[in-house]
C-alpha cells in the first residue's frame, strides 16, 4: 500500500547558485568540498555549527586513522592530509595504541579553516546562520 502527500506548487526565491553544494563539514563533507574545489568546481559549503570539522571539532572525536598499525593498508587522501596538516600546525599528538595521531579538536578548527581558505574556488561558506565569502 502506497501513501502519498500532495504539496501544492509554490514560488521560492533562489538566494544562491553554485556548482557543488556540500551540507556538513565533518570528516565526509569537508574532504568532499575540498576535492570538488581542487577539481575546479564552484563550491558552497554549509555547516550548522560555528566551525568546520563536524565530529572532530564539535564532539571531539580524536582521529580518523585509528586503524593504522604495522602491515595495514594506508588510506591516504584528503583525510590523511588533515592529520599531516594537524601535525604541522601542532594540533595532533601520537596516538598510544596505533601508528596514527590524535587530533586536538580546538586546534583542528584552525587546520580546517586554513584548508578551506587555501581552496580558491570556494565561493561561499555558510556557518551557523551567516554567509561568508
DSSP-derived secondary structure for 20-56: EEEE--STTHHHHHHHHHHTT--EEEEESSSSS-GGG
Placement of cell 556557518 in the chain: 127
Q: 3-state DSSP call for residue 96?
A: coil
- Cα-Cα-Cα-Cα dihedral sign, residues 24, 29, 35, 41: negative
pLDDT class of 6 with cuts at 50, 70, 90: very high
Please state, in angstroms and rounded to a whole number, the distance separating the CA atoms of residues 37 and 5: 38
Q: Is the pLDDT of residue 3 over 90?
A: yes
**Any idea where the domains of the chain sit in the sequence?**
20-132
Q: What is the mean pLDDT of residues 25-48?
A: 91
Q: 3-state DSSP call for residue 106?
A: helix
Give 63-108 pLDDT, tens digit per residue.
Answer: 766 667 788 877 778 888 888 999 999 999 988 888 888 889 999 9
Q: 3-state DSSP call for residue 121?
A: coil
20-132 classified as CATH 3.50.50.60: yes
Please state, in angstroms and rounded to a whole number, the distance separating the CA atoms of residues 57 and 30: 12
Amino acid at each position: 500500500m502506497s501513501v502519498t502527500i500532495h504539496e501544492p506548487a509554490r514560488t521560492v526565491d533562489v538566494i544562491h547558485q553554485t556548482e557543488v553544494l556540500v551540507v556538513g563539514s565533518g570528516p565526509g563533507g569537508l574532504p568532499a568540498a575540498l576535492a570538488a574545489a581542487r577539481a575546479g568546481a564552484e563550491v558552497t559549503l554549509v555547516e550548522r555549527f560555528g566551525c568546520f570539522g563536524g565530529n572532530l571539532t564539535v564532539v571531539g572525536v580524536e582521529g580518523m586513522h585509528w586503524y593504522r598499525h604495522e602491515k595495514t593498508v594506508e588510506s591516504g587522501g584528503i583525510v590523511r592530509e588533515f592529520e599531516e596538516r594537524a601535525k604541522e600546525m601542532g594540533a595532533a599528538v601520537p596516538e598510544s595504541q596505533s601508528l596514527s595521531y590524535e587530533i586536538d579538536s580546538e586546534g583542528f578548527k584552525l587546520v580546517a579553516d586554513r584548508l578551506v581558505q587555501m581552496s580558491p574556488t570556494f565561493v561561499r561558506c555558510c556557518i551557523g546562520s551567516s554567509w561568508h565569502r
